[in-house]
A = this chain, B = another copy of it.
Amino acid sequence: MVALDRTLGANLRLCREAAELTQEQLAHLADLHPTYISLLERGQRNPGFEITVKLIGALGIAADDLYRGARWIPPDVGMEGRFAYDRDGAPADPCPSRLKLADQPKGTED
């Protein structure tokens, strides 16, 4: 199993904090329950494609930002396929692709 807590969960928390959103605010924007956001950030849920599309849209980020740090290394001669983690021990990155939602003017697109 991929380690959801240090991949998707950590990425989600970093991107949410970079967007200066509470779990409740993100839940509203993604049409999800705040408890579910909390479980995702702790790596206790493995969301399907639809849920991740909602999170990406709600945060204004690229899909790549949710997948950072997790790699699948395909099987090769004499080696089984396996997961690898790129950020072990590294400091937490910010959320590179995030559109600066907080910096955008609101309600001016009439």
Q: Are B81 and A2 in contact (CB under 8 A)?
A: no
Q: Are A81 and B54 in contact (CB under 8 A)?
A: yes
Q: Are A67 and B56 in contact (CB under 8 A)?
A: yes
A15, CB-defined interface residue at 8 Å: no
A52, CB-defined interface residue at 8 Å: yes
A95, CB-defined interface residue at 8 Å: no
A7 surroundings in chain B (CB, below 8 A)? 49, 53
- Contact partner, A50, options B1, B49, B53, Cβ 8 Å: B1
Interface string of A52-88 (1 = CB under 8 A from B): 1110111000111011001111110000110100000
From known contacts A31-B81, A63-B66, infer whether A74 and B58 are also in contact, taking CB-CB under 8 Å.
yes
A-B contact pairs, 12 of them (CB 8 A): A2-B53, A7-B53, A29-B75, A30-B74, A31-B74, A49-B52, A49-B66, A52-B67, A53-B67, A54-B72, A57-B74, A63-B63
User: Which residues of A does B touch, CB under 8 Å?
Assistant: 1-2, 4, 7-8, 28-31, 46-50, 52-54, 56-58, 62-64, 66-67, 70-75, 80-81, 83
